[in-house]
Structure 1
Amino acid sequence: MATKTKTGIGTWVGFVLILVWCLLPVAWIVSLSFKSLEETTAGSPQFLPKDFTTGNYGEILDNGDFTRALINSFSISLIATVLSVILATLAAYAIARLEFKGKRLVLSMALAIAMFPVVSLVGPLFDMWRTFGLFNTWPGLIIPYMTFTLPLAIWTLSAFFREIPWEMEQAAQVDGATSWQAFRKVIVPLAAPGVFTAAILTFFFAWNEFVLAISLTSTTSSRTVPAQMSFFVGPDPFNPPYAQLATASVIVTIPVIIIVLLFQRKIVAGLTSGAVKG
């Protein structure tokens, strides 16, 4: 009994230490967002702000360039997510249900594309996009985002489709449903955890992506939040506006937290099922 008690205490101590280690940088950024510009430029080492202020949030939200970047980030990420999930759902279903030569090669190539270093594509894409008129546009970011998110979504969804019993689709067709109706009304709802997981992973990638966003845009008309935050330099290059950067980071993180809280059950179910069934 004493051994179990010590084990339980040790588990909780380890859990608390890991939690503090992970959340301390987040707590520091939140605290920094409530400090004044004078306090941050003075290099104050204390955790809590001396003069608590919410003025940083007002300044950031009143910044037209930042709000425009927020709209760009949300719109581009949402469009890339929807298109990737739709195409990945169809492709993953075909890979899981149909037998054709080169199936493993297709999956291997998809995985290789997902792991391809983004920075190696910046130069060619920069020249191509300027030639095709896609530089500094929403499609100029959506297309390369989908290049990396689509293979990941295909891999995630194909594992779910393989585990759905084939008999359920056949039963729907026996009852009079067409192949498309059976896929849309039977297969896709059963694979909902996988669809949500693929959508969340895709959205997070597009929301946090920086290299392509900073390289393929030149103005605020299509620049996303991660790229826009790199222009927060302040009047003194040796003293960046840390409070404003922290405030912008908090604001950018809020949509991600809301999404996770709203869909946490489906996300956990999707990740768990994928780990067991894949």
Structure 2
Amino acid sequence: MGAMSTKEKLGWYLGALLIVLYAVLPVAYIVSMSFKSESDLANKKFFPTQWTTENYSGIFAGSGSDLFLPALRNSVITCLIATLIAVVLAMFAAYAIARLNFPGKRVVLTSALAVAVFPVITMVTPLFNLWRRVGLYDTIPGLIIPYLALTLPISIWTMSAFFRGIPWDMEQAAQVDGATSWQAFRKVIVPLAAPGVFTTAIIAFFIAWNDFVFGISLTSTSRAQPVPAALSSFTGSSYFVQPTGAISAAAVIVTIPVVLLALVFQRRIVAGLTNGAVKG
């Protein structure tokens, strides 16, 4: 394949620039609104007339802190626990799928993919009724279990690609040297699959962190309500005032962890996904 001409390079650069602007401009506008005062929100200009941090102080120390801070705590707890459980279970399931030959193995993978793309809204009503009966409504465990339905299938599907690319001769060599199956798995297979496990954990965390449907449907108070659901409960200084600035500030705060994870571990995520795609 020959080198691209200057005109082709310019076309690719312009296309990439348009995609970046399309993705970044809405986020930049939300950041801009988070620094606008209540009286300045009607201003149609992109940037605030006068920059202010009152929206951020409001959600951390003002009237919105009673709603935002517990919701932030709930999101961190539920997402971390759901991610940990999903990754551990997916690791064993992916190992079995990649290492063992058993009837229905392809059905398991297909079912996991089908559940991953299953419409979440269809599960809400049955779960709502069931959770109310068994006492899991508006609780942290009542959110973690549905989050597993979101994170576990895609974790199994993603991680199985990494385990299929592992050279099993190393596991057999460890067993020849006297290691048990569990020791070979823990000391040989898991370290080799670490990039895939790490990538899967980040993807699972993103999925749980961004959930809104389960959060708004299976919780009702600050006892377990996550941030995406809590944002819909924000109120302004009066009944006729929309809390746009406070919601924008809260949205910026909850986006920061996701952006930082993506930036800090960008190389590892890309390397892990590429490794699984090539060897799987």
Residue 83 (str. 1) matches residue 64 (str. 2): no
Q: What corresponds to 2:28 in structure 1?
A: 27
Q: What corresponds to 1:208 in structure 2?
A: 210
Relative to structure 1, the CA distance from residue 3 to residue 179 in structure 2 (aligned partners, 3 Å threshold; closer, same or farther) is: closer
Q: What do residues 177-225 of structure 1 show as CA deviations (whole Å, max 9, x unaligned)?
A: 2111111111111111211121111101111101111111111010000
Q: 1:162 aligns with which of 158, 161, 164?
A: 164
Give the partner amino acid of 1:14.
G
CA distance in 1, matches of 2:71, 2:200: 24
Q: 1:172 aligns with which of 165, 171, 174?
A: 174
Q: What do residues 224-250 of structure 1 show as CA deviations (whole Å, max 9, x unaligned)?
A: 000000011325566422111111110
In the TM superposition, 1:41-190 aligns within 5 A as 43-62=42-61, 63-190=65-192
Q: What corresponds to 2:232 in structure 1?
A: 230
Give the partner amino acid of 1:189.
P
- SS in structure 1 at match of 2:6: helix
Q: What corresponds to 1:199 in structure 2?
A: 201
Give the aligned length.
276
CA distance in 1, matches of 2:212, 2:218: 10
CA distance in 2, matches of 1:2, 1:253: 39
The range that moved more, 261-270 or 86-95, is 261-270
Give the partner amino acid of 1:10.
G
Query: Structure 2: which 5+ residue stretches go unaligned?
Result: none
Relative to structure 1, the CA distance from residue 211 to residue 2 in structure 2 (aligned partners, 3 Å threshold; closer, same or farther) is: closer
The range that moved more, 263-272 or 29-38, is 263-272
Maintained 8 Å contact 2:150/2:208: no
CA distance in 2, matches of 1:27, 1:65: 25
CA distance in 2, matches of 1:68, 1:185: 39
How far residue 2 of structure 1 moved from its aligned partner, in angstroms, is 11
- SS in structure 2 at match of 1:149: helix
CA distance in 2, matches of 1:277, 1:182: 21
Query: Structure 1: which 5+ residue stretches go unaligned?
Result: none
State, as a whole percentage, how many aligned pairs show the same letter: 59
CA distance in 1, matches of 2:277, 2:244: 40
CA distance in 2, matches of 1:85, 1:99: 22
CA distance in 2, matches of 1:22, 1:190: 35
Q: What do residues 68-108 of structure 1 show as CA deviations (whole Å, max 9, x unaligned)?
A: 10000011000000000000000110011011111111112
Residue 254 (str. 1) matches residue 253 (str. 2): no
How far residue 257 of structure 1 moved from its aligned partner, in angstroms, is 1.4
Give the partner amino acid of 2:66.
G
Give the partner amino acid of 2:69.
T
CA distance in 1, matches of 2:81, 2:267: 23
TM-score when normalising by structure 1 = 0.95
How big is the alpha-carbon RMSD for the aligned residues of Structure 1 and Structure 2? 1.7
- SS in structure 1 at match of 2:5: helix
The range that moved more, 263-272 or 202-211, is 263-272
TM-score when normalising by structure 2 = 0.94
CA distance in 2, matches of 1:2, 1:259: 35
- SS in structure 2 at match of 1:170: helix
Relative to structure 1, the CA distance from residue 232 to residue 36 in structure 2 (aligned partners, 3 Å threshold; closer, same or farther) is: same
Q: What corresponds to 2:17 in structure 1?
A: 16
Relative to structure 1, the CA distance from residue 143 to residue 6 in structure 2 (aligned partners, 3 Å threshold; closer, same or farther) is: same
The range that moved more, 217-226 or 179-188, is 179-188
- SS in structure 1 at match of 2:22: helix
